[in-house]
Amino acid sequence: MCLEEEMIDAEEFRNCVKSYVELHDEIAAAAKHLSELRKKKDALGELVMGFMKHRAIDECELPDSGGKLVRKQSKTTETLKKDHILQELMTLINDETRARASLDTIYGKRQVVAKEVLTRTKR
């Protein structure tokens, strides 16, 4: 079977590739469907949140399906950008050359992880 890592013959390889491609296509179709569902949910969520905000409603009980909808604020932190780091380093060091060298050192020490992957392209 395809799930073992031992040597397989050409026929088993063809069957494994066929199964792989079928699963890849099935996953791609499901991901597309899921994306469409998320877009619809997000659009409805905007309407619901707008209504709740307009009426100053923070919580909405859901007796039919259980639980509740809660309107609250979510916070995320922006990713670090090279320009922002350089700007801050120049403020601290007062020397653009040393700041750039420090930034290059920091970025040069970042670990790069490489692994082999299998990708599928279509004609």
pLDDT in tens, 12-61: 999 999 999 999 999 999 999 999 999 999 999 999 999 999 999 999 99
Indicate the angle between helix axes 96-108 and 82-93, nearest 10 degrees.
130
Give the domain extent around 114: 76-123
Are residue 65 and residue 87 in the same domain, yes or no?
Answer: no
Are residue 71 and residue 83 in the same domain, yes or no?
Answer: no
Are residue 43 and residue 99 in the same domain, yes or no?
Answer: no
Distance CA 41, CA 69 (A): 13
Q: What contacts 72, CB < 8 A, 6 or more positions away? A: 58
Q: Which tens digit of pLDDT belongs to each residue from 80-105?
A: 899 999 999 999 999 999 999 999 99
**Three-state SS for 31?**
helix
Are residue 48 and residue 67 in the same domain, yes or no?
Answer: yes
Are residue 30 and residue 87 in the same domain, yes or no?
Answer: no
Q: Which helix (H) or strand (E) holds 78?
A: none
Region for 113 from its dihedrals, namely left if φ exceeds 0, alpha if ψ lies in -120 to 50, beta otherwise: beta
Are residue 118 and residue 62 in the same domain, yes or no?
Answer: no
